Structure 1
Amino acid sequence: MTLDLFNLTLVGVSLLVLIAVAAVGVSRRAGLPALLIYIALGLIVGEAGFGLRFDDAELTQVLGFGLLAIVLTEGGLTTRWTVIKPVLGVALALSTLGVVISVGVTALLTYWVLGVDVRTALLLGTVVSSTDAAAVFSVMRRLPLRARPKAILEAESGLNDAPVVIVVSLLVSDSWATTNGWLAAAEAVFQLVAGGILGFLIAWFGKAAIRRTTIPAAGLYPIAVVFIALLSFGVAGLAGLSSFAAVYVAALKLGNANLPHARSTRGFAESLAWLAQIALFVLLGLLASPARLTDALLPALVVGSVLLLVARPLSIVIASIGFGLPWQEKAFLSWAGLRGAVPIVLATIPISAGISEPQKIFDIVFVLVVIFTLVQAPVLPRLVKILGLGRSPEP
């Protein structure tokens, strides 16, 4: 790369990031997650706009998982254990049993209505059944919502990525049709639990190391904490366990430990998470091809409607049995299950795996995320008032 090309690239990236930063205020006034503006920036820069062609789904998948790890790290570091502890049981139920119900109902109705093959229906149902941490964190933390439903949504979005990644990886493998369902479920639970335990242990040792080590500069403490959490992501992946569960639990443990410079650590993690979201959604917008998206509109409306109006409410009602949630909270949780980067990144796995019609799955998921974010997010503040779940905003 020549120096002139480097400077030109730096100018372009800097302008893109500055536009993305300025767009946050616009998105908040409109009541929408900033992810929609970031995706639009990617589409504008891409082949239909400025002509930058990018079609490497495998690279998008790898980078997407890394950027999601940063978002989950920030989510764990900024979540208070005293808030999440009372709702951990219901969040785990929604992240496991709720995901299974959502996948089954969405896949069944998608197979029946759209007439796709069983594998495609299962992939679509699985990919869209995971709520998105980036979308949930960005919307819920500025919504005057009571602590319990907010904590449930944040914990669910931090935990439910793990089982969905496992199921998608199984469905794109050559042995998906012969795999025993119960054994697959047991393996998914094992990877989820073992990944969480591994993340906890790495965070525990990391916390002890930070307390016993004299770090010469205050600015190095946030870097150490963030990368201890990211270390758990990589170690869990190498061990064949759930990287997403490991990094979220590790960050949750570190965020609630009495470590030096905790406030600056949270600020540093928040900055990294914003940068990761910008990079992630712009990258996903680059990967999409507007010329194909019109064909995916009707299937996306069908799958999204099934998910929002049938599968998600049913999964909430069944998975929350025994936890004493009032119907108002169940109704809000049903509507507030926002989709975002996670489903789109997961939709790149079939492309790199080389199964039939993978681009169709990606296009449907991409259109679904954009449309139903536009439908769901603006309604949330009014829904909070209607259901009586509001609280006075903190100063």
Structure 2
Amino acid sequence: MELHVWLLLGAGVVIAAIVAVRVAHRSGLPSLLIFLGLGVLIGESGLGLQFEDPQLAQQIGLIALAIILAEGGLTTTWSHVKGSIPTALVLATVGVGVSIAAVAIPVHLLLGMDVRTSLLLGAVLASTDAAAVFSVLRRLPLPSRLSGILEAESGLNDAPTVIAVMLLSASASPSLGGALFQVLFELVVGTAVGLAVAPLGAYALRHIALPISGLYPIAVLALAFVAYAGAVLLHGSGFLAIYLASLVMGNSRMPHRAASRGFAEGVAWLAQIGLFVMLGMLASPSEMPTAIIPGLVAGLILVAVARPLSIIASTLLVRLARIDRLNWREQAFLSWAGLRGAVPIVLATIPWAATSVDDSAAKFVFNEVFVIVVVYTLLQGPTLPFVAKKLGLTTPDEARDLEVESAPLEELNADLLQVRVPPTSKLHGVEIFELRLPTDAQVTLIVRDGRTFVPADSTRIRIDDQLLIVTAAACRDTVERRMRAISRKGKLAGWFGEIGN
């Protein structure tokens, strides 16, 4: 086909996928299922477009996952997840190991798979999916600790899972001790690179006034991939590096932070659409029937045995270490909310693309994983609100956190903050003088209903107002914290212990 035909087809797929997102949002279904369906319709059993290159699918898939992790890190609020990080780390390491074993052993005994293939299947299925978790859980009114654990886990557990799948797909698998050392080495290097690149990048962006604001989001995403590529070059985990770098940058004092997050979100959606459509095209529906029963059995083992065991083992460790205490309701929800999505399907292309793994066994694993993701995501995703409600874990709608956009005023050593007052914010009704901002900060303009005016001290803030605040660079953090605190708890936020972190 000619180039313009491919462009027309690609644009049509993207538009159809965007429309599908609305359908998925209203129905509670993870959008990945609709994207996969589009890929199947375009593929060999639909329009007949052939795509049978697992090596290319693997490379594209890994890049797309890196983009999704970068977006997840940039859009995650540190105050929301910081208390959950220790528990999430245990889930992403110990929990992954328990899950691999808890899938591999029953699959080997019940389905007759050889040990290596059973371990591969367990490793491929061990990671929860960041895209699925972010898209579903951020719409649920869950306690911040619980949603923070799930978000952080989905961002952190890709790295050890990818390492495990790579090791099991290698021609010469190392000993258990060697494998553990390699996993630890890659995680340490990935962490070091991510935490080194992020503050340096954020510092550079704060002190270099770019001539066009649209360059900042591009620079942020480029810095995230510097972390990814740098970690891989040093034989570390690129996924961990890009997630941590993005998490740190997304919560740093960067100019145009909200715009950078919005840009990353758009790019991540495009990556998701392309990734799932490609994986749908890679699947062969004619080969799926033989994988349905084994896939359903393996999926049942994953959901009913492996995930609960990994949660129990991990929460027991964090309780013994006096890090956190999760009650049975929270553990039950964590067990049910371990959504699988693109990550397992992408990881299933790794052994398929490897020459050291039997091609028929690797293709069978891919088909099994495809069945598991489709069936169990269809089962788990829409039922999460019901399960959360029945377990008594839903919380009343909280005020949406305040987004503060900033632009550097380099020559004045100052910053211009743009604050939009979201619905349910307790800034509504607060008078300007009641903000009690530092003396080196001032609300200079308010944009309301398309009209711009200079506020008086007695002007009351309203929902959907845009406030323009000029602040000295030295007190910018104080201003942001004060505005967030009032948005959450009102003008007496300090009395409630709210400091706006």
TM-score for the superposition, normalised by structure 1: 0.97
- State the match for 2:342 in structure 1: 341
- State the match for 2:53 in structure 1: 56
Higher helix share: 1
Say whether residues 1:77 and 2:74 are aligned partners. yes
Q: Deviations over 1:297-332 (max 9, x none)?
A: 001011100010011001101111212011111000
- State the match for 1:203 in structure 2: 198
- State the match for 1:324 in structure 2: 325
Q: Deviations over 1:236-281 (max 9, x none)?
A: 1111100110000000010000111111111111111111100000
Amino acid at match of 2:44: E
Bigger CA drift: 187-196 or 47-56? 187-196
Bigger Rg, which one: 2
Q: Distance in 2 between matches of 1:384 and 1:105?
A: 25
1:18: Cα distance to partner?
Answer: 0.5
Bigger CA drift: 187-196 or 109-118? 187-196
Amino acid at match of 1:83: H
Say whether residues 1:149 and 2:150 are aligned partners. no
Give 5+ residue unaligned stretches, structure 1: none
Q: Distance in 2 between matches of 1:341 and 1:115?
A: 26
The share of aligned pairs that are identical, in percent, is 50
Q: Distance in 1 between matches of 2:229 and 2:315?
A: 32
Q: Deviations over 1:148-182 (max 9, x none)?
A: 11110110010101111111111111221xx2212
- State the match for 2:271 in structure 1: 276
Q: Distance in 1 between matches of 2:177 and 2:96?
A: 15
* RMSD between aligned residues: 1.0
Say whether residues 1:360 and 2:364 are aligned partners. yes
**Higher RCO (CA < 8 A, seq sep 6+):** 1
* 1:1-395 matches, cutoff 5 A: 5-176=2-173, 179-321=174-316, 322=319, 323-354=324-355, 355-356=357-358, 357-393=361-397, 394=400, 395=423
1:380: Cα distance to partner?
Answer: 0.3
Q: Deviations over 1:18-48 (max 9, x none)?
A: 0100001111122110000000000000000
1:112: Cα distance to partner?
Answer: 0.5
1:223: Cα distance to partner?
Answer: 0.7
Give 5+ residue unaligned stretches, structure 2: 401-422, 424-501
1:286: Cα distance to partner?
Answer: 0.6
Amino acid at match of 2:365: I
Amino acid at match of 2:344: P
Higher strand share: 2
Amino acid at match of 1:308: V
- CA contact 2:189–2:234 (8 Å) conserved in 1: no
Q: Partner of 1:252: helix, strand, or coil?
A: helix
Q: Partner of 1:129: helix, strand, or coil?
A: coil
- CA contact 2:103–2:298 (8 Å) conserved in 1: yes
Structure 1 runs (4+) greater than 3 angstroms displaced = none
Amino acid at match of 2:278: L
- CA contact 2:29–2:382 (8 Å) conserved in 1: yes
- CA contact 2:190–2:238 (8 Å) conserved in 1: yes
Q: Distance in 1 between matches of 2:177 and 2:100?
A: 15
Q: Distance in 2 between matches of 1:182 and 1:330?
A: 31
Aligned length: 390
1:190: Cα distance to partner?
Answer: 2.1
Q: Partner of 2:301: helix, strand, or coil?
A: helix
Q: Distance in 1 between matches of 2:56 and 2:171?
A: 22
Q: Partner of 2:383: helix, strand, or coil?
A: helix
Amino acid at match of 2:289: T
- CA contact 2:189–2:235 (8 Å) conserved in 1: no
1:226: Cα distance to partner?
Answer: 1.2
Amino acid at match of 2:45: A
Q: Deviations over 1:71-122 (max 9, x none)?
A: 1011000111111111111000000000000100100000000001000000
Q: Partner of 2:288: helix, strand, or coil?
A: helix
Q: Partner of 1:324: helix, strand, or coil?
A: coil
- State the match for 2:415 in structure 1: none
Q: Deviations over 1:197-252 (max 9, x none)?
A: 11110111111211221200011111101110111111111111001100000000
Q: Deviations over 1:326-382 (max 9, x none)?
A: 111100000000001100000001111121121111100111100000111111000
TM-score for the superposition, normalised by structure 2: 0.77
